């Protein structure tokens, strides 16, 4: 199913790539970035436009029907990638956020089908337009308790205090269980989708190390009390009450008390 969707997205992208906005300044000199340029033309051009300048308006060309229809109507619009830097490209590609299944969807963690080398090339190409480099968080230098406090202040509102993900009207802040330290650091700085983009004045690099260290902790927290139930609080606890504790006690009651069925001739 997923493969079919990705294929559809690719075909759509390819079709659009054949459309307007092709004029560009040609491949960069650096061989890796040049390879990235070709990949860009294959996968990204349709939405992000030539020279990574973005596509903001596209005349509607509604054809056909089915899931692809909306995409064509929207005509593939995407933000400019000039100046977003290596970190944004690295984040979106290595999490599988891009390519998007359909314009307007929240990007989600998907299987990455580009090879490592292809991603490196695309990152190099996007980085050739300038922008911040890929951050290297050092969680070892952070303080876990400071991280807890900072996470509670900046992140817990959306991602839940144990980074188990949550809900905000219009979007689903993901859980951070699969997020690598580098991806956490990148996301804090770029603010994917509707996430705020935290500046260095708001979260310093040292504080970011602490946050990353805390996020690493949430992946395998201490659970001295037994089965952790997903660390999201009362909902699973209620499920255990309703589907484990109460049935067990009901069985005990059924064992001890008379049931109608046992009656002879009733």
CB 83 within 8 A of CB 94: no
Number of residues that bind other proteins (CB under 8 A): 84
Residue 160 interacts with other proteins (CB under 8 A): yes or no: yes
CB of 189 to other proteins, least distance (A): 10
Residue 259 interacts with other proteins (CB under 8 A): yes or no: yes
CB 78 within 8 A of CB 49: yes
Three-state secondary-structure class, residue 171: strand
Give the span between the Cα atoms of 109 and 64, in whole angstroms: 29
Residue 147 interacts with other proteins (CB under 8 A): yes or no: yes
CB closer to other proteins, 7 vs 240? 240
Using the rule CB under 8 A, give the single segment among 29-37, 60-68, 118-126, 163-171 that binds other proteins: 163-171
Three-state secondary-structure class, residue 96: coil
CB of 134 to other proteins, least distance (A): 18
CB of 49 to other proteins, least distance (A): 13
Give the span between the Cα atoms of 127 and 27, in whole angstroms: 13
Give the span between the Cα atoms of 135 and 206, in whole angstroms: 12
- Cα-to-chain-centroid distance, residue 90: 12
Binds other proteins (CB under 8 A): choice among 20, 83, 130, 238:
238
Residue 114 interacts with other proteins (CB under 8 A): yes or no: no
Residue 255 interacts with other proteins (CB under 8 A): yes or no: yes
Subset of 164-223 contacting other proteins (CB under 8 A): 164-173, 190-199, 201-202, 214, 217, 221-223
Minimal CA–CA distance to 37: which of 105, 103, 99, 123?
Answer: 123
Residues in the chain: 266
Binding mask 63-102 for other proteins (x = CB under 8 A): -----------x--xxx-----------------------
């Amino acid at each position: 199913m997923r493969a079919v969707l990705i294929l559809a997205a690719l075909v759509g992208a390819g079709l659009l790539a054949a459309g307007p906005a092709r004029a560009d300044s040609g491949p960069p000199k650096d061989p890796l970035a040049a390879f990235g340029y070709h990949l860009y033309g294959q996968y990204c051009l349709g939405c992000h436009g030539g020279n990574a300048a973005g596509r903001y308006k596209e005349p509607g060309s509604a054809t056909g029907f089915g899931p692809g229809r909306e995409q064509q109507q929207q005509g593939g619009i995407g933000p400019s990638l000039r100046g977003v830097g290596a970190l944004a490209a690295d984040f979106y590609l290595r999490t599988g956020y891009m390519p998007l299944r359909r314009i307007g969807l929240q990007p989600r963690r998907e299987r990455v089908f580009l090879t490592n080398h292809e991603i490196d090339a695309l990152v190099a190409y996007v980085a050739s337009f300038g922008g911040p480099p890929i951050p290297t968080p050092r969680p070892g230098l952070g303080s876990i308790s400071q991280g807890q406090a900072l996470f509670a202040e900046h992140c817990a509102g959306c991602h839940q205090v144990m980074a188990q993900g949550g809900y905000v009207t219009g979007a689903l802040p993901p859980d951070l269980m699969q997020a690598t330290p580098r991806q956490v650091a990148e996301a804090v700085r770029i603010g994917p989708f509707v996430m705020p983009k935290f500046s260095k004045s708001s979260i310093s690099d040292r504080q970011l190390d602490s946050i990353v260290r805390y996020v690493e902790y949430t992946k395998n927290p201490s659970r001295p009390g037994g089965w952790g139930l997903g660390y999201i609080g009362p909902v699973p606890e209620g499920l255990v009450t309703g589907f484990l504790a109460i049935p067990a006690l009901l069985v005990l009651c059924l064992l001890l008390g008379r049931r109608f069925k046992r009656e002879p001739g009733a």
